[in-house]
Amino acid sequence: MPPLPSPFDQIDLFSCVLGAGACAVVAILVLLAGHSRTQRRHLILSLRLERLQDESRAQEAEVQRLRLERDQLARECREMDAENASLQTACRAMQQQVDERETLLAEARQQIEQDFQFLAGRIISEKGEQLNKQHASALTLLLRPFHEQLLEFKRKIEETYDRDARDRVSMLKEIEHLKRLNQQISAEAANLTQALRGSNKLQGQWGEMVLSRLLEASGLRNGKEFAVQVHCTTSDGTAYQPDAVVYLPENRTVIIDAKVSLKAFVDAHNAPADDLREQKIKLHLDSIKRQISLLSSKEYHLLSDLGALDFVLLFIPVEGAFQLAVEREPEILISAMQKKVILASPSTLLAVLRTIHHLWRLDEQNRNSLVIAKQAGSLYDKFVGFVEAFEDVGFRLNQAQQAWHTARNRLTAGQGNLIARTEALKHLGVQASKELPDSLKHRSSFSGETS
């Protein structure tokens, strides 16, 4: 196909035509100036004809050029149609390949997901069983002391209740025994009083001896729950020496005095006549009242070292002497109490001492109960701490599992993941003696292609 004329060639042709026209115009003007009007007309027509001929030739040349350009464009169109048909054929073939590849990728993705889910499930199941076994073993070890302490706590409580029940039964038996013992002591005391009626000092010593025997018989321990002949001094230097001091829980004490004269009682018992007997009984009551007033004036409760209660026990070592005073003048008990003095016979004093002994037992049991309760509270706090730690272990395990998934995704997922990059190094010629698992390489390849 001949080459088409260029735009520059067209411009040159047009310029030539314009130049010729200009020259013709100049010539016409010159001729017009020197010829006649007819000649000028003929010349004008000739020039017009020539100009038209030039224009016709130029138009024919332009038509020829356009025909050539049309033929060139037709040939190019035919070539482009052929190329388009070829490209459409290639595109259909490529689309078919893409569809086949997407099908293969979908099948590979499904297979990889199934393999990974199976592998992850197996790993989680194995790890879960292992953790359950470890947690069960650790829980058993941690709870064993708690179980043992609970059993010990139960045993101590049962022992406490059993001991308390036995103590109550034993107390009833001891009260009966002490009652019989008191009757025997009273009988012996009456006989001994007969022998000691002439000496107030001996009577006082004998009363202190009876008091000591009652203290020991009640179960109280000398030096622990009671003491005899305790020396005390007030803030102003006054010295006191009570016959016995019985200690109570919470650092309190009870003062007992046994200095009671029994001479008038013995005389009343042996009086041959009623009027003489009445006189001796009155002397006996007066003797007890004097001792009440004497004890009331001592104010043992003001001794800060003893911590005594605000009353004193006046011990009458002979049951009959006590009974006689109460029968003849019942208000003597109330009068004595108003002076913070309580009269006590061997039987009533023994009951008081046994009650004090029982208070000590209860105090000991209460202290043990407080210790047990404190240990139980500490044990409960430790158990709560263990439960909180156990919950924290579960939280940490969940965090570890999430961190494992994150690390695995960074290893295998995304474009430029670590496995894909290390495999690329191997393809570049890096020497290695080991191979990565196929499942990881497939997953890495799949993630890199789909990213």
pLDDT at 330 over 80: yes
Distance CA 254, CA 309 (A): 6
Per the model's pLDDT, the better-predicted residue between 372 and 22 turns out to be: 372
Given phi > 0 = left and psi -120 to 50 = alpha, else beta, which region is 414?
A: left
Q: Within 10 A of 257 (CB to CB), how many other CB atoms are there?
A: 23
Partners of residue 233 on adjacent β-strands: 239
Per the model's pLDDT, the better-predicted residue between 316 and 421 turns out to be: 316
Q: Which helix (H) or strand (E) covers residue 213, if one does? A: helix 200-217
Distance CA 376, CA 378 (A): 5
Q: What is the pLDDT of residue 331?
A: 92
Q: What is the pLDDT of residue 334?
A: 92
Average pLDDT, the chain: 76
pLDDT at 447 over 70: no
pLDDT band at residue 9 under the 50/70/90 scheme: low
Per the model's pLDDT, the better-predicted residue between 409 and 445 turns out to be: 409
Structure tokens at 119: 């592998």
Per the model's pLDDT, the better-predicted residue between 275 and 165 turns out to be: 275
Distance CA 36, CA 38 (A): 5
Distance CA 143, CA 37 (A): 142
pLDDT at 79 over 80: yes
Q: Which tens digit of pLDDT belongs to each residue from 246-303?
A: 988 888 888 898 877 778 887 887 788 888 888 888 988 898 899 898 888 887 777 7
Note if the pTM is more than 0.85.
no
Question: According to the per-residue pLDDT averaged within each range, which of 41-45, 135-139, 335-339, 427-431 is highest?
Answer: 335-339
Cα Rg of the chain (Å, integer):
67
